[in-house]
Amino acid sequence: MPFQHKHGLFPRIIGKGDNAKRLMELLLRMRSEAAAEESTATSRLGMMPSSTIESLIIIDREVDMVTPLLTQLTYEGLIDEIFGIKNNQAEIETSIIGQAPGQQPKSQSGAPQQQSLKRKIQLDSSDKLYAQLRDANFAIVGPLLNKVARRLAGEYESRHGAKSTAELREFVSKLPGYQAEQQSLKIHTSLMEEALKHTQSETFSRVLEIQQNLVSGTDPTAQHDAIEELIARDIPLTTILRLLCLESTISGGIRPKDLDAFKRLILHAYGPQHILTLYNLERMGLLIARTAANPFYIPVGVGGSGAASESKVTNYSALRKQLRLIIDEVNEQDPNDIAYVYSGYAPLS
């Protein structure tokens, strides 16, 4: 409501999904309660329909569980995948990006202390370079950084061409900005190099290949040997579970015998404590056995009493062609379709 008090009421609220409907009903109830409390003409004026906002669109995450299960391929997405982003901040090892400028902690005796293992960096649009890189496909981040490095080098060398005092004064006034950009360039170059090691690994390529085969509609059972191989390599369990949940979500479940086999492999490879992990994923409807499905919706989930939940998930097989979710040729340099963020898959949300 504070947002609507400031900018006016949302003229139209539309959404998709059960939770979106609940949120819309809550917003309408809060609007009615706020209107009942209004007493002055001034406050009533603030509750008029907004002239700057056309609609509020609410999308329930349960409508599209595939998107968060896929590996993000934008620069910001890969940083989140590898290092984790929380509240627009990431904690990065100082062995990768170095200590903060001017940071030299000392002990009480005056001797320098050992450098802290991690450094927290801010990742938002206040960093002009990050604002340019965050939504770019990772494949073009290297050339973009190279272009910025050449520009900064040229601008810094221009100081030798300054002939008058005014020109020198202008250069000195811009120096703090150059130094901030240089520091930002150093950080993002180091992050890019570290992410490159990750993306060039055989495991990453194999996982990405399995994901793209699943979303493109190939026979999911053809990917089972590759998933079993990844389990044998002892890659992180979260990666295995994301692949299995992805297949389950897209295909309306996994064949019962295949699902039982994967559960046994996971418990043998990663430990019996993950019985609860598998159970919770099944309760959430993310990892289920395949059953006869409705042509457009597939019922999933189990309620607390054991009855089937009324929640439904999207049938991607029906929507893949209707909404053109798969784009064969993606222009990563100058993207004209949202599919560039997953190198060929257009996310529903």
DSSP labels for 114-142?
Answer: PPPSEEEEE-STTSHHHHHHTTSBGGGHH
Average pLDDT over residues 78-88: 93
CA–CA dist 267, 197 (Å, integer) = 30
pLDDT of 159: 60
Span 136-193, pLDDT tens digits: 999 899 999 999 888 888 776 766 565 566 666 665 666 666 788 889 999 999 999 9
Alpha helix segments (H runs only) across the chain: 2-7, 18-37, 41-45, 66-69, 75-82, 94-97, 128-133, 141-157, 165-199, 202-215, 224-232, 237-251, 256-270, 275-283, 316-322
Lowest mean pLDDT among 81-90, 268-277, 319-328: 319-328
CA–CA dist 98, 119 (Å, integer) = 8
**pTM for the structure as a whole:** 0.79
Band of pLDDT at residue 200, cut at 50, 70 and 90: very high
Considering the chain, what is the average pLDDT of its residues? 82
pLDDT of 6: 78
Lowest mean pLDDT among 213-217, 271-275, 292-296: 292-296
> Does the pLDDT at position 44 exceed 70?
no
Residue (of 117, 133, 125, 118) closest to 78 by Cα position = 133
pLDDT of 153: 81
The residue with greater pLDDT, 321 or 190, is 190
> Does the pLDDT at position 292 exceed 80?
no
**β-strand pairing of 56-59 with 13-16:** parallel
Residue 76, SS3?
A: helix
pLDDT of 163: 59
pLDDT of 28: 87
The residue with greater pLDDT, 240 or 139, is 240
pLDDT of 31: 81
> Does the pLDDT at position 41 exceed 50?
no
pLDDT of 34: 75
pLDDT of 144: 92
Amino acid at 322: Q
Band of pLDDT at residue 69, cut at 50, 70 and 90: very high
Return phi, psi of residue 345, to 5°.
-105, 125
Band of pLDDT at residue 87, cut at 50, 70 and 90: very high
Band of pLDDT at residue 130, cut at 50, 70 and 90: very high
Both ends of the chain: CA-CA distance in Å? 24
